[in-house]
Chains A and B, each alone.
Chain A
């Protein structure tokens, strides 16, 4: 009763959820479904499917929030090993056209690389949570090794984009743990120096994506098409947009994959700059709220893990939005919680569940 009477937004504390964060997430999801309905050619089936996945994701969120963080810290190495094992299994028995990314368990097909997006930060946070920080050179070396193992396996699938993102999650965590600036400069310099080597080892389709990004007119009907059409969609939206379901770029089929990777272009076209700013603000709100919650966690484990999860969420959004506005090459990163697709939505909501669980057990109102 007290919770209902109170003017402050609060959920029953037994649920260990954060009302503000949950509300912002639900708002984002609602906006996403509305755009999906328009981008997906008004096919209600598509919206229902996505709603079902998001519903599953929210259920996972509640469960994750309920899990005692202590347990997660203990399980971390085993979860990490399990995710690593799944990656090896995918390499051996995976399915997929060209690239082996999917594991088929008969009743469900999923990408083990997705699980690694949570398992790796968890593993690193559990490790650094027990070690003196900032990490010494030994802990730093071990951290880099723990990152390289799964990232390498994913890169071999080959799925370079996901490999980079998984590696990024590990590096973000190490940065937060206090990785020394000298080492950071060294790593960045090393990465730049490795670029030519990487370029030579890229698949032809990956090379052509980068070349096309640098000069879209190089292949105006092929891959440059995506970038050009997406920018036209965004730009033609103007200040207030063409209105819901009125985007010509996606409905006349100029925009590729309007319901998955390029859903933000549809939003920008239909709701204009106003809509873009509103949604970016929503992403910013979610990110900063979650980051604040992370900073309030009881120990290093919680803070590192929560902050990394939310940073990755923000990074996905940035990569996708930068891609559709032509700031970076076309990479297959969906817009978190908005693009049509299952596994990533569930992982992201699970991550937010973790953050809420950690925050609910913070220092000054520790219930246990």
Chain B
């Protein structure tokens, strides 16, 4: 029998209605039962047990207080304190306890000078803080301010003076870029750091060692269980777990050498890096100019900060770590090793320098720094006199790929892995790099100037010192470290004769009668191997007359070339490697080499 289709649907709907309707009744019943149960529960707690809980709320006076840990000290290699915690006092206000904030601020302004920065920071913190929480108005009060406040405090309800520990740096300028500084925790820090460990902590490492070793320096907070009265005032301490202070850090830096290096640089901007070859320990690490890191601890004023930003010498810029410089002629020792390896040069084969080099079929002249050239030179003389033509030819013979491979072995083009944040990797140009960066192929002329460390190559002073250490160690050295020594490892392999040939040339640079740095030989207690370099800031025109005019006249300071020097000593058994960069210092021989000589002499004198 054929049932009409619509009837089937209708029947289904009827069933559905009954089923769903039944379930709705179940559900409504359940909801009512739950409501009754919940009401019964609250009646039990709030009516039946009210006395009990009211009593417990009244007795509820056990509170937990966090005890923030003391930050670890930072010491130099001989245990001299570089960063410590000093007791200080700050002026705080509990807004809810003052009759009128505006009036209180006016009164305080008459007693101690409140800057616009102070007031703004106070206002900002007040917005974010909880009720009855003290808000800092002025940190780090002077003795005079303290005395004035103490005398008038009875008239100022809600105003309190709190004792606390603050970070203090002993040689802030000289070590600004090594130690860095701590500053007030901001939103980013709050997100980055574990909340539990930073309860009650206000400051955190922002740069340098303070940042890199934050985890060790910080320590662990303790807790105090206290009994309070109904207003929340502490009556007695029931039990406490003391905080675990942060670890003290001993740096490899020798404070005497560091200060000597800063002094040797004088007023010039630049960098000095001194490394112990065997251990990789950093003995001195300077970026000039420095800045007063103590200003940052309490929150630097807008005025001071603008002054730092406006300074043409860019004091906030970390030159040894992130400064990128053309290596100039300091690459020549490394290229020499590559050439000896391939046989493109030998220690004795001589090359004639007539003053310039031309690629076959090209008109551009690549010049020697000495007009008319150096005549016949062997490897030793080519290094000592820094003969460009010798290295133009070598670069073409090696090719950019072989050059890049050799420089990479010495650590160029990548970070050294030093224990500091923000290291730059420099630039080690290759065909692939140029294609990726500029979308252009590599041109032979670019290989030519790479031979004298110009063009695209960029190194940091730290990389240069590390590479020098690897050279001095005949391929062996350890990565630079400020805390704890690292294991030496082989970076490069060359024949002993080749190392020695290059060392002879570098020794002749300083001690030879024609060496570019011969002027400093007299100031050195032992034999030092070295190499000068000049990084172009401003390309000289190709036209001879114009060149002469420019070179004879005074070039403005900010267009003068950067002076570089790298070297190691003592020559027979090298222990110390260094690099020096003097910005806008002109030639490496004139300015950077004397700085290197003074730093090296001091290092040896100090027994390193």
Q: Which residues of A contact B (CB under 8 A)?
A: 41-42, 45, 132-134, 175-178, 221, 229, 231-239, 248-249, 251-254, 268, 272-273, 276-277, 280, 283-284, 287-288, 291, 294-295, 300, 303-304, 307, 311, 314, 318, 321-322, 325-327
- Nearest-Cβ distance from residue B367 to partner chain A, whole angstroms: 53
- Nearest-Cβ distance from residue A197 to partner chain B, whole angstroms: 28
CB <8 Å contact, A133 and B50 = no
Q: Of A133, A177, A321, which one neighbours B38 at CB under 8 angstroms?
A: A321
Tell me whether A254 and B27 are in contact in the complex, defined as CB-CB below 8 angstroms, given that A234-B46, A238-B46 are known contacts. no
- Nearest-Cβ distance from residue B258 to partner chain A, whole angstroms: 41
Q: Of B35, B50, B60, B127, which one neighbours A248 at CB under 8 angstroms?
A: B60
CB <8 Å contact, A288 and B39 = no
CB <8 Å contact, A276 and B46 = yes
B21 interface residue per 8 A CB criterion? yes
Tell me whether A307 and B24 are in contact in the complex, defined as CB-CB below 8 angstroms, given that A134-B19, A249-B57 are known contacts. yes
Q: Of A42, A232, A283, A318, which one neighbours B131 at CB under 8 angstroms?
A: A42
Q: How far is the CA of A252 from the CA of B61 in the complex (A)?
A: 9
Q: How far is the CA of A247 from the CA of B601 in the complex (A)?
A: 73
Residues of B with C-beta under 8 A to A300 = 16, 20
Bitwise, B54-69 to A at CB < 8 A (1) or not (0) is: 1011001001100000
Residues of B with C-beta under 8 A to A254 = 60, 63
Q: Of B15, B27, B38, B52, which one neighbours A322 at CB under 8 angstroms?
A: B38
Q: How far is the CA of A284 from the CA of B130 in the complex (A)?
A: 35
CB <8 Å contact, A295 and B21 = yes
Q: How far is the CA of A175 from the CA of B23 in the complex (A)?
A: 7
CB <8 Å contact, A235 and B20 = no
CB <8 Å contact, B19 and A236 = no
Residues of A with C-beta under 8 A to B21 = 295
- Between A and B, 16 residue pairs with Cβ closer than 8 Å are A132-B16, A134-B15, A177-B20, A229-B60, A234-B45, A235-B49, A235-B50, A237-B46, A268-B46, A276-B46, A277-B42, A300-B16, A303-B24, A311-B27, A318-B34, A325-B41
Q: How far is the CA of A321 from the CA of B43 in the complex (A)?
A: 13
CB <8 Å contact, B38 and A280 = yes
Tell me whether A221 and B42 are in contact in the complex, defined as CB-CB below 8 angstroms, given that A176-B20, A236-B50, A239-B50 are known contacts. no
Q: Of B22, B23, B27, B56, which one neighbours A236 at CB under 8 angstroms?
A: B56
In the complex formed, the residue of A with least CB distance to B11 is: A132
B28 interface residue per 8 A CB criterion? yes
Residues of B with C-beta under 8 A to A229 = 60
CB <8 Å contact, A252 and B232 = yes
- Chain B residues within 8 Å of chain A by Cβ, number: 39
CB <8 Å contact, A253 and B42 = no
Q: How far is the CA of A232 from the CA of B127 in the complex (A)?
A: 31
Tell me whether A235 and B19 are in contact in the complex, defined as CB-CB below 8 angstroms, given that A277-B42, A291-B24, A318-B34 are known contacts. no
Q: How far is the CA of A238 from the CA of B49 in the complex (A)?
A: 9
Q: How far is the CA of A300 from the CA of B19 in the complex (A)?
A: 10
Tell me whether A307 and B27 are in contact in the complex, defined as CB-CB below 8 angstroms, given that A221-B64, A234-B46, A318-B34 are known contacts. yes
Q: How far is the CA of A138 from the CA of B356 in the complex (A)?
A: 90
Q: How far is the CA of A177 from the CA of B472 in the complex (A)?
A: 84
B523 interface residue per 8 A CB criterion? no
B interface, over-half SS: helix
In the complex formed, the residue of B with least CB distance to A294 is: B24
Residues of B with C-beta under 8 A to A311 = 27, 31
For B21, B38, B43, B232, the residue with the greatest tally of chain A CB atoms inside 10 Å of its CB is B38
In the complex formed, the residue of B with least CB distance to A240 is: B46
Residues of B with C-beta under 8 A to A303 = 20, 24
CB <8 Å contact, B42 and A178 = no
Residues of A with C-beta under 8 A to B24 = 176, 291, 294-295, 303, 307
Q: Of A41, A239, A251, A280, which one neighbours B35 at CB under 8 angstroms?
A: A280
Residues of B with C-beta under 8 A to A284 = 31-32, 35
For A235, A238, A300, the residue with the greatest tally of chain B CB atoms inside 10 Å of its CB is A235
- Nearest-Cβ distance from residue A259 to partner chain B, whole angstroms: 12
A interface, over-half SS: helix
B230 interface residue per 8 A CB criterion? yes
- Nearest-Cβ distance from residue A340 to partner chain B, whole angstroms: 15
Q: Of B12, B23, B46, B52, which one neighbours A178 at CB under 8 angstroms?
A: B23
In the complex formed, the residue of A with least CB distance to B54 is: A236
Q: How far is the CA of A221 from the CA of B21 in the complex (A)?
A: 49
- Nearest-Cβ distance from residue B15 to partner chain A, whole angstroms: 7
Residues of B with C-beta under 8 A to A237 = 46, 50
CB <8 Å contact, A176 and B43 = no
Q: How far is the CA of A287 from the CA of B34 in the complex (A)?
A: 12
Residues of B with C-beta under 8 A to A287 = 31
Tell me whether A273 and B57 are in contact in the complex, defined as CB-CB below 8 angstroms, given that A177-B20, A221-B64, A280-B35 are known contacts. no
CB <8 Å contact, B31 and A291 = yes
Q: How far is the CA of A252 from the CA of B130 in the complex (A)?
A: 11
B310 interface residue per 8 A CB criterion? no
- Nearest-Cβ distance from residue B27 to partner chain A, whole angstroms: 6
In the complex formed, the residue of B with least CB distance to A179 is: B23
Q: Which 5 residue pairs spanning A and B have beta carbons closest together? A: A235-B53, A236-B57, A178-B19, A273-B46, A238-B50
Q: How far is the CA of A294 from the CA of B24 in the complex (A)?
A: 9
Q: How far is the CA of A45 from the CA of B28 in the complex (A)?
A: 39
Apart from A235-B56, A273-B42, A288-B31: 19 A-B pairs, beta carbons within 8 A: A132-B12, A133-B20, A134-B19, A178-B19, A231-B53, A234-B45, A234-B53, A235-B46, A235-B52, A235-B53, A236-B50, A236-B57, A239-B46, A248-B230, A249-B57, A295-B24, A307-B24, A307-B27, A322-B41
Q: How far is the CA of A318 from the CA of B37 in the complex (A)?
A: 10
B47 interface residue per 8 A CB criterion? yes
Q: How far is the CA of A283 from the CA of B31 in the complex (A)?
A: 11
CB <8 Å contact, A176 and B54 = no
Q: How far is the CA of A41 from the CA of B131 in the complex (A)?
A: 7
Q: How far is the CA of A249 from the CA of B232 in the complex (A)?
A: 12
CB <8 Å contact, A232 and B20 = no
CB <8 Å contact, B20 and A178 = yes
Q: How far is the CA of A236 from the CA of B52 in the complex (A)?
A: 8
- Nearest-Cβ distance from residue A28 to partner chain B, whole angstroms: 15
CB <8 Å contact, B50 and A291 = no
In the complex formed, the residue of A with least CB distance to B23 is: A176
- Nearest-Cβ distance from residue B156 to partner chain A, whole angstroms: 24
For A176, A232, A295, A303, the residue with the greatest tally of chain B CB atoms inside 10 Å of its CB is A232
CB <8 Å contact, B19 and A133 = yes
Q: How far is the CA of A295 from the CA of B28 in the complex (A)?
A: 11
Residues of B with C-beta under 8 A to A176 = 20, 23-24, 27
Q: How far is the CA of A325 from the CA of B41 in the complex (A)?
A: 7
Q: How far is the CA of A238 from the CA of B56 in the complex (A)?
A: 13
Residues of A with C-beta under 8 A to B47 = 238-239, 273
Residues of B with C-beta under 8 A to A252 = 60, 63, 232
Residues of A with C-beta under 8 A to B20 = 133, 176-178, 300, 303-304
Residues of A with C-beta under 8 A to B52 = 235
In the complex formed, the residue of A with least CB distance to B48 is: A235
Residues of B with C-beta under 8 A to A248 = 57, 60, 230
Segment 101-158 of B: residues with Cβ below 8 Å from A: 127, 130-131
Residues of B with C-beta under 8 A to A268 = 42, 46
Q: How far is the CA of A195 from the CA of B28 in the complex (A)?
A: 28
Residues of B with C-beta under 8 A to A314 = 31, 34
Q: How far is the CA of A239 from the CA of B16 in the complex (A)?
A: 46
- Nearest-Cβ distance from residue A299 to partner chain B, whole angstroms: 8
